[in-house]
Structure 1
Amino acid sequence: MAAALEAKSALIPWLATVIGMLALYLLILLSTTVLFGLTVSLFNNVVSLQSRLAVILLLPTMAGIVGLLWLIFGWPNLSQGYRWFWMILFMFAAPGSLLASTTFRRAVDISAAMPGPGNAKSWPLRGWFMLMLSALLFSTVACSVFSTSLILKAYIGEDTPDALNRLMLISMFAASITLLPVVVFYVSKTDLFKRLSLFLVAVIVTGTMVISISPGVLAAIVYSAAQVMNVRDSVEARYMLTKTYAKEDFDTQVWGPVETVRNQPLVSAFPLFSFGDVLLLCPTSLINMGRKDWPEQSAYCALTQSSNAIRMPKRPDLQGMP
């Protein structure tokens, strides 16, 4: 990679792609933040109570996230029907538990009555308001699955019970802490500009914490950026290596048959890494390897320069032709 960084012209788009993939990851991660913010915003008509309501709503939301992820990790074979049962139960139980709070009931009465001030005690209005609240809480909890899936896909370690428990705790923490920026925004007793500034700082801190504690996330982001920029290309081709290597350097059990053309080795390979003039060619037998296998399998690849590797034209397959 150090040699590849000498290609200054390719470095800027590479960094832009990595930053873009990082931003996309944060958007997915912060989907719970957005939905939780929409939940608290239902009470914009009771600004004086919103700071307390943000904390009140935080508790059942975190409980729902922890419970859902506990079901996913603890009972991976649980049927979808049972999972939906518990999710729907949460959808109705969470708002029901909130009604035990006098502050919450008062806020519901005021917010539900705003569309029709003459019907402040209308049960249909309050019922419709509670249904919207339940749907947003349900969506907030359900979106925690997205951040969890990103963490699981990025993990490349051993699949052991201890690792599973660690990933479960990381996922619970990552999904729960993304609610923090909303609480910071509504609890802050300053002007709107400072509240927005604190919110953005909380988003950055939250995203940094989640990325830093999630194993393999940064590597997964770079790997995805490499695929977007075609730094990694999973297309097999024949390459003639004009310098450094000879036919006997390639093990036929890994590389397959190696020909000699104009006294140069001709191999079937694909570029695992191509950046600037740096080219890492790997045998086609490894083309379907996953990211978790490359730290070990990349030792079989040949490091060369793009200027020293000539991609040969494809030959037609004459087998079966008359």
Structure 2
Amino acid sequence: MLVLYLASLMVTSAFYAAALTPFKNNPSFMALMLILPSLAGIAAMVWSVVIRQRASVFFVVTFSAVTVIIASLVMLLIPKFWATVRDTANQASPAQNAKNKWMATVIGLIGTVWGTALSAMFPMLLLIKTYPWPADRYELYKFAGICVTVSGLSLLPAAAFYICKDGLWPRTRYTLGGMMLVVASALYFAPATIPKVVDQAAKIIGIKSLEVSSYIIKDTYAAEDFDSRWGEVRTLRGYPVVEAFPLFTLGDLLLLCPKSLAPTELLDWPVVTRACLLLDAKTTKPMPEKTVKASKT
């Protein structure tokens, strides 16, 4: 999940950089100005998804596009913004007439800003998945504000790179600092993502597994020590054999959980893990699977 989040930040930065690339004469000014139509597109999608709730994907995307177009056209009423767009259009291709150059520049600008707004919506989806759904209207609007804030902050890394007028290293440093701030903000507003990130990391590095198998426990436990949550417990050579999975394995420590807990949701683990046993990995071994030979007829 964290990898996907960082990937979405890179996509957002790429779209935002594409919107700013033509404006080489005044990139810092445009980096500030283009935040506004991008936020307008983000706010439109948040309203459609969080407040309206039953909006279709087509409506969400279309409403965001219309909002970005209106916001961008309003921005053209700002004299300095208009002059920057006009100068960039004139420098783009001297062979074209002025109207065509201006239209091409504005359409390209609106398209990349809209792409920036769309790519900045992953933080909102992350919040919706992990944040407790609001119980009343006030909490719903508060949640919508949090979604706009977290999604809008994803514009910060790319904006910092272009707003900063120092050398390449300071600009890169500010960009990385912006990414850290965005990730920290997302974790602050959606603290439930922290255990999910840890859970995914544990699976990747191989210390967590939900693969059920038969385990023989050569410890101080007997078959009668296991309750019904462990299912049928067999005895082999005087040792109990259970159907279980190793929730965590770290060094010689093994947290073995009964098969019945395999489908448990992440948020319920603090309660249900009381049924698990902390064992010595040296005395708890998986049993080999026996293949059943088909009988000859």
Shared fold (TM-score, shorter chain, > 0.5): yes
- Is 86-95 or 158-167 further displaced after alignment? 158-167
Counterpart position of 1:51: 28
Q: What RMSD in Å do the two structures reach over aligned CA positions? A: 2.7
Contact 2:22 2:88 in 1 (8 A): yes
Letter in 1 for 2:219: K
Counterpart position of 1:288: 263
Contact 2:16 2:113 in 1 (8 A): yes
The alpha-carbon deviation at position 228 of structure 1 amounts to 1.5
Counterpart position of 2:290: 315
The alpha-carbon deviation at position 184 of structure 1 amounts to 3.1
For 2:216 and 2:140, the matched residues in 1 are separated by 45
Residues 40-71 of structure 1: CA distance to partner in whole angstroms, max 9, x if unpaired?
A: 22211x2xx33222222111211221221121
- Taking the TM superposition and a 5 Å limit, the aligned residue runs for 1:252-271 are 252=228, 254-271=229-246
For 2:83 and 2:141, the matched residues in 1 are separated by 41
1:98 to 75, 83, 108: 75
**1:38 maps to 2:18:** yes
For 2:143 and 2:276, the matched residues in 1 are separated by 32
For 1:167 and 1:320, the matched residues in 2 are separated by 63
Query: TM-score w.r.t. structure 1 length?
Result: 0.81
Counterpart position of 1:128: 104
- Is 23-32 or 143-152 further displaced after alignment? 23-32
Contact 2:46 2:144 in 1 (8 A): yes
1:233 to 209, 218, 232: 209
Seen in structure 2, the aligned counterparts of structure 1 residues 321 and 257 have a Cα distance that, compared at 3 Å, is farther
Counterpart position of 2:41: 64
Identity level (%): 27
Counterpart position of 1:3: none
Q: Specify the SS of the correspondent of 2:282.
A: helix
Contact 2:44 2:67 in 1 (8 A): no
2:254 to 263, 279, 300: 279
For 2:200 and 2:140, the matched residues in 1 are separated by 24
- Is 21-30 or 131-140 further displaced after alignment? 21-30
Contact 1:151 1:215 in 2 (8 A): no
The alpha-carbon deviation at position 191 of structure 1 amounts to 3.9
For 1:164 and 1:294, the matched residues in 2 are separated by 28
For 1:169 and 1:245, the matched residues in 2 are separated by 54
For 1:189 and 1:117, the matched residues in 2 are separated by 29
Residues 73-125 of structure 1: CA distance to partner in whole angstroms, max 9, x if unpaired?
A: 12222123322331231242232222112122211211122232254x52222
Letter in 2 for 1:187: I
Aligned length: 295
1:78 to 55, 60, 69: 55
Which sections of structure 1, spanning at least 5 residues, go unmatched? Answer: 1-20
Seen in structure 2, the aligned counterparts of structure 1 residues 244 and 73 have a Cα distance that, compared at 3 Å, is farther
Contact 2:37 2:68 in 1 (8 A): no
The alpha-carbon deviation at position 137 of structure 1 amounts to 1.0
1:161 to 104, 118, 135: 135
Counterpart position of 1:107: 84
1:198 to 174, 179, 187: 174
Q: Specify the SS of the correspondent of 1:114.
A: helix
Counterpart position of 2:195: 219
Seen in structure 2, the aligned counterparts of structure 1 residues 263 and 164 have a Cα distance that, compared at 3 Å, is farther
For 1:82 and 1:98, the matched residues in 2 are separated by 24
For 2:183 and 2:60, the matched residues in 1 are separated by 28
For 2:58 and 2:182, the matched residues in 1 are separated by 33
Seen in structure 2, the aligned counterparts of structure 1 residues 292 and 165 have a Cα distance that, compared at 3 Å, is farther
Q: Specify the SS of the correspondent of 1:272.
A: strand
Seen in structure 2, the aligned counterparts of structure 1 residues 244 and 94 have a Cα distance that, compared at 3 Å, is farther
Seen in structure 2, the aligned counterparts of structure 1 residues 89 and 25 have a Cα distance that, compared at 3 Å, is closer
For 1:167 and 1:241, the matched residues in 2 are separated by 49
The alpha-carbon deviation at position 318 of structure 1 amounts to 8.2
The alpha-carbon deviation at position 234 of structure 1 amounts to 2.1
Contact 2:40 2:67 in 1 (8 A): no
Query: TM-score w.r.t. structure 2 length?
Result: 0.87
Counterpart position of 1:181: 157
- Taking the TM superposition and a 5 Å limit, the aligned residue runs for 1:235-254 are 235-252=211-228, 254=229
